[in-house]
Structure 1
Amino acid sequence: MSKPMHLCNHPGCMALIPFDQRYCDKHEYRKPISCADKEQRHLMNKATYYKRTHSKHEGKYQHFYRSTQWRKLSHHWLMVHPFCARCEAQGIMRKGDLVDHIIEIRDDWSKRLDTDNLQTLCYACHNRKTWKQKQIRHKRRERQPDSSQR
């Protein structure tokens, strides 16, 4: 006797799957994440953030992030804005872990203490945003002609 079948839980998907599964193979990524997995992912994102901010190659940026001025401002910001801005924009209420500069201080040092340039992010959103910004910066450098050849 075969298992009873039902439609995949992904909206609009008409794939028939066994009754004890929630999603077809195509939509398996939508499977709910257990609390243990969420905690593990959070710890991994936190470790990535910590590794980047406490590297051997400290510059003025890491020194700024350890300054009293920044610590006080970011602490106050988190008290007033406790939720991750990117998650909240998607309708997810997730606690923010850190204060992020919308325009990175590498791109505009003068905006490092500008409250109009701040947002609260969770570690995952911050790591994603930082990775994308790094890719953009890298592509920008590749497109610029080498000034030493002039």
Structure 2
Amino acid sequence: MKMMCNHGGCKQPATYKSRCDKHQITPKSNGNKFVFQDKSYKEYAYLPDGRYFYNTAEWKRLSKYCRQKQPLCEWHLGIDQDNPEIVPMAHVDHWIELQDSFELRLDPDNMVCLCQSCHQFKGNEIQRYRTKGQWKKLKNFLIEHKPTVMSDKHIEVLNEIVDKHTR
């Protein structure tokens, strides 16, 4: 199955590295590191040894496992339990983002399989709450909208995030 460009709102087929020709990322050299112009590639996605997290064997193995386990969008399956909509997944997403809890980066319970539109919606909602400093609303959104039951460990992490930002 051909993947769609993962640039927000783009419906073109991906030609290289999950993006269409128009939305390719162009790295700028900064010494021995690359600085990406695309703002979605943040510094929190790098490991202490300088490796990009999404290029590691551990992430690729976990992502593949999640894709095989759930090839459909989990949000679309959960919207109407009696008549679920069947939509192929496009992204394995960290439910609690890397920048909030790097320790959960390889936790399978923190992963959710989403289609392009659901992934974009989730990202926009999280960004909106972050920008406005609405940390409790962010926590509630993540708890209420997680397709599966959120573990006590993950709720505790969310409480720590709220506490950190509301002191």
**Which TM-score bucket, shorter chain as reference?**
0.5 to 0.7
Q: Normalising to structure 1: TM-score of the pair? A: 0.56
Query: Alpha carbons of 1:139 and 1:44: their partners in 2 closer, same or farther (altered >3 Å)?
Result: farther
Query: Alpha carbons of 1:102 and 1:44: their partners in 2 closer, same or farther (altered >3 Å)?
Result: same
Runs of 4+ in 1 over 4 A off after TM superposition: 44-48
Displacement of 1:58 in angstroms is 4.8
CA deviations 1:81-118 (Å, max 9, x no partner) are 11101111122110101101111111111111011111
Which amino acid letter does the alignment assign opposite residue 100 of structure 2? D
Number of residue-to-residue matches in the alignment: 101
Displacement of 1:42 in angstroms is 3.6
Which residue is equivalent to 2:65? 76
1:128-147 equivalence runs, <5 A: 128-140=121-133
Unaligned runs of 5+ in 1: 1-39, 142-150
RMSD across aligned C-alpha pairs, in angstroms?
A: 3.2
Which residue is equivalent to 2:12? 43
Higher Cα Rg, which structure: 1
CA deviations 1:97-144 (Å, max 9, x no partner) are 110111111111111101111110011110110111111111118xxx
Which residue is equivalent to 1:59? 43
Does structure 2 conserve the Cα–Cα contact (< 8 Å) formed by 1:42 and 1:123? no
Greater per-residue helix proportion: 1
Which residue is equivalent to 2:109? 116
Secondary structure at 1:136 match in 2: helix
Identity of aligned pairs, percent?
A: 25
Between the aligned partners of 2:66 and 2:93, the Cα distance in structure 1 is 10
Does structure 1 conserve the Cα–Cα contact (< 8 Å) formed by 2:91 and 2:115? yes
Q: Normalising to structure 2: TM-score of the pair? A: 0.51
Secondary structure at 1:127 match in 2: helix
